[in-house]
Amino acid sequence: MTAKTMTGKLSPAFTDLREVLRGRTSGPVAVRGMVHALRDMGGVAFLTLRGPDAVLQCVLPHGLDLQGVTEECAVALTGLPRPEERAPGGVELSADSLTVLSRPAAPMPVAISKKKLDLNLDTELGLRPVVLRSLRERSVFRLQEALCRAFRDTLHGLGFTEIHTPKIVHAGAEGGSNIFRLDYFGRKAFLAQSPQFYKQMMVGAYERVFEVGPVFRAEKHSTPRHLNEYTGLDFEMGFIDSFYDVMEVETKFLQAAMELVRTEYTQDVERLDVDVPDVTSIPALRFDEAKRLAAEKYGRPIRDPYDLEPEEEVNIGRYAKEELGSDFVFVTHYPSKKRPFYAMDDPDDPRFTLSFDLLFRGMEVTTGGQRIHDYQQQVDKMLARDMHPEEFESYLMIHKHGMPPHGGLGIGLERLTARLCGLENIRETCLFPRDLSRLEP
Amino acid sequence: MTAKTMTGKLSPAFTDLREVLRGRTSGPVAVRGMVHALRDMGGVAFLTLRGPDAVLQCVLPHGLDLQGVTEECAVALTGLPRPEERAPGGVELSADSLTVLSRPAAPMPVAISKKKLDLNLDTELGLRPVVLRSLRERSVFRLQEALCRAFRDTLHGLGFTEIHTPKIVHAGAEGGSNIFRLDYFGRKAFLAQSPQFYKQMMVGAYERVFEVGPVFRAEKHSTPRHLNEYTGLDFEMGFIDSFYDVMEVETKFLQAAMELVRTEYTQDVERLDVDVPDVTSIPALRFDEAKRLAAEKYGRPIRDPYDLEPEEEVNIGRYAKEELGSDFVFVTHYPSKKRPFYAMDDPDDPRFTLSFDLLFRGMEVTTGGQRIHDYQQQVDKMLARDMHPEEFESYLMIHKHGMPPHGGLGIGLERLTARLCGLENIRETCLFPRDLSRLEP
């Protein structure tokens, strides 16, 4: 019998490059990774070994058989680490053996070992499967990971439950025509524009829920701030006193995120020269007031009192930075006609809603607010918008059978990453972006 | 100026029900939640308050205005907790005030306060938005959350990076006809059958990556073990010595998951009477041997040496339990013709692959293995299968430009949850399942 037994133990036969760089090893070590760069100086060769978190300079002495090693070979090396101030990280490995584990069939199309690639975005996105091997590109998505981790950890700590809701749906939650259609075994179906209906449903069961997942928007415009598929960080919470509770939870998340970025992702922060924002507190301005303040300060007249143009967002962000000292600013009380049917109107002035956006360095990265919980109020608002409540029977089931006052938000992960990293186009912060012309890789 | 400032602080004006139940409070408390059950005894009323993690029995004394409160009202109560052995959890709240925060428009369609609902599955799934308020139903998805948490925490601890890959794709990764098509701005597109191509690409950048996300399969059969949309727990790792490394990581994940379930989800385990499996070690059997052993022991002849029927999976699971004392069993070296084009063949016998499935109590919950990393080997295998390598240019880019030996796996979250909870139909472990006839809620 050839039965083997798995015990969950992984043999640590190779030393983590970070341990070598920190000088935590003694005597010879075995390391492995990809050949990030290779310079043959005739006799001595310098090999930069790329690991998941670090690169290590290795010297291959005269006499060591190089076996035709090239960049992007997978290799294992043994040797002795030694201090060397000219090497990245201040440590160099003096190698005494080299094993080639795999070889490429062709050289890389771009020199990814350069500090900055300086490719045009189209070329870069087409080559993403291999361009992400660049340390700089890689760091962008490490910081994105930090944002996700902080989101989940913060919410978990506040008693939120994680959910997974369907992406193939029978009706769109956000209205409008920006929805993808598909054939579902002969029936018409759509790709979810948001987990809105489902996360509200789950408030009735868990009180506080969150989801990290893909969101699909068939927007027909090509801008540096839109993607047709993006990752949504969504939460919804019951028993709120007002939508300010939702804003407090988001503030808490951002505090935790920036702290995590600062403490556990320093290498990525340094590589991208990220200006990590201070989020001790975040100011909030009413929509109409924010428009007025920005218009006055920057001399740009208000064209539509019920809409916020991207240029106005930029100016409000600038105002927040210059006058309130904050990279973030909440804009509250959005006009009712700009918000979906589930948004709760302000009882003091129903032209506006109990809702908010969060702007980060002049760009909207979050939309949230309080939702209608009363059945009749929700049906009435749908009817006033010429919607057909009978088409939303399963959604309205929760209002009919009782819902606590509740609210929530949706954060665009790519936008948040872009503003954090100071990148202008959110395609740079999506591993494999989908837009009007891009369906691969 | 009406500027407010958010500081990330939430006012804890209300006490968590769990704190009350643990007797950790002193003096009067304020609590809030949904009215889970209500019995008016004429004079005195008993109200069961449902919070996110617990229920608390409250006594409303004669003389307190009940204000027409009903089940599924959202309420706030103040009162004094006191020991009461007949109450669930041994504590009862003697209420002195009641505030109704919201009211349902109609009573619940089913009595969710019963211990077991005993609805037929069709009815239950149709009423899911409100039926999940049942404590028992709710616990299933709490355990599902535990599995996700353990997956991410384990992998993060092993140096894996979290990624988000596109679900709208230009080509299927798993082959076959079970793929959903959609119109993407006039172009033909598909919904991802798995993140396979993308996670392999990312091994070149991060060495170890994982993703938790939706997976779409247009399977035209209706069985208790298939869904058309499910949540995949996927990882991929570079520099493996063999696919056994992948199995060790999965074992480590399962050990962490069961430990988390046992320690932090005890209430859910008890409510569902879950038999938490021992995963100290997991045996592994070769495909052909596992078939032979099960056939011999249970007298069921082998019909096809290159396929594994569901009944055979059940028998192999039974064999593992009875002969090897394990709820889990790895079945290794699946036949090549049953595995996708990216699976690495066994050099010792190319009719079989360096791959595995994990069976949990007789059902496949994972498929994994080593992948081809050599460009020419991958192109040759595609050609031998009459595939067109030029259609997979962006995928083959990674092989062409160098990949380390690597492998990974995909776990079906709903199947894993179902086997853990002892539920026969995986629709019970998906919040809003998608199948041949079900597109809503």
Task: Identify whether B437 is part of a domain.
Answer: no
Residue-averaged pLDDT of chain B: 95
**Which pLDDT score is estimated for A3?**
67
**Which pLDDT score is estimated for A2?**
56
Provide the ipTM: 0.97
Contacts of A256 (CB under 8 A, 6+ apart): A150, A153, A154
Residues B82 and B147 in one domain: no
CB contact under 8 A, B161 and A149: no
Q: DSSP character for B403?
A: -
Residues B67 and B157 in one domain: no
**Which pLDDT score is estimated for A177?**
80
Query: Given pLDDT bands bounded at 50, 70 and 90, which one contains residue A12?
Result: confident
Residues A167 and A71 in one domain: no
pLDDT single digits (tens) B294-352: 999 999 999 999 999 999 999 999 999 999 999 999 999 999 999 999 999 999 999 99
Residues B95 and B178 in one domain: no
Average pLDDT of the residues in B346-363? 97
Task: Identify whether A108 is part of a domain.
Answer: no
Task: Identify whether B145 is part of a domain.
Answer: yes
**Which pLDDT score is estimated for A13?**
83
pLDDT single digits (tens) B44-95: 999 999 999 899 999 999 999 999 999 999 999 999 999 999 998 899 999 9
Contacts of B120 (CB under 8 A, 6+ apart): none
Task: Identify whether B250 is part of a domain.
Answer: yes
> Which of A106, A128, A55, A98 has its CA nearest to residue B402?
A106
Residue B260's domain spans which residues?
A: 135-429
Of B191, B279, B284, the CB nearest to A4: B284
Average pLDDT of the residues in A80-85? 95
Residues A183 and A97 in one domain: no
Tokens of B379: 């192109």
Using N-to-C axis directions, what is the helix angle for B393-400 and B196-206, rounded to 10°?
Answer: 30
Average pLDDT of the residues in A63-67? 93
CA A325 – CA B384 distance, rounded (Å): 64
> Which of B306, B326, B304 has its CA nearest to residue B317?
B326
pLDDT of residue B273 exceeding 70, the answer is yes
The CATH number given to whatever domain includes residue A212 is: 3.30.930.10
Of A161, A212, A252, the CB nearest to B145: A161
Residues A184 and A64 in one domain: no
pLDDT single digits (tens) B392-441: 999 999 999 999 999 999 999 999 999 999 999 999 999 999 999 999 99
Task: For B65-106, list the strands marked E by DSSP.
Answer: 74-83, 91-102
Residues A285 and A187 in one domain: yes
Of the three residues A102, A124, A143, the one that is the final residue of a domain is: A102
pLDDT of residue B383 exceeding 90, the answer is yes
Task: Identify whether A1 is part of a domain.
Answer: no
Task: Identify whether A7 is part of a domain.
Answer: no
CB contact under 8 A, B72 and A105: no
CB B203, CB B370: distance < 8 Å? no
Average pLDDT of the residues in B111-132? 92
Question: Nearest chain B Cα to A130, which residue?
Answer: B398
Residues A218 and A292 in one domain: yes
Residues A194 and A152 in one domain: yes
Task: Identify whether A107 is part of a domain.
Answer: no
Residues B166 and B56 in one domain: no
Residues A45 and A179 in one domain: no
CB A25, CB A15: distance < 8 Å? yes
**Which pLDDT score is estimated for A155?**
98
pLDDT single digits (tens) A230-253: 999 999 999 999 999 999 999 999
CB contact under 8 A, A6 and B284: yes
CB B73, CB B106: distance < 8 Å? no
Nearest-10 Cα torsion for B306, B311, B312, B313: 100
pLDDT single digits (tens) A157-179: 999 999 999 999 998 877 778 99
Task: Identify whether A124 is part of a domain.
Answer: no
Question: Nearest chain B Cα to A138, which residue?
Answer: B205
CB B163, CB A141: distance < 8 Å? yes
Query: Given pLDDT bands bounded at 50, 70 and 90, which one contains residue A438?
Result: very high
Q: How many domains does chain A have?
A: 2
The CATH number given to whatever domain includes residue B67 is: 2.40.50.140
pLDDT of residue B3 exceeding 70, the answer is no
Of B103, B145, B251, the CB nearest to A6: B251
Tell me which chain A residues have a C-beta less than 8 angstroms from the C-beta of B33.
207, 239
> Which of B364, B279, B259, B366 has its CA nearest to residue B314?
B364
- Residue A168: its H or E element: strand A168-169
Minimum distance, in Å, between the CA of residue B160 and any CA atom of chain A: 9
C-alpha Rg value of chain B to the nearest Å:
26
Residues A320 and A385 in one domain: yes
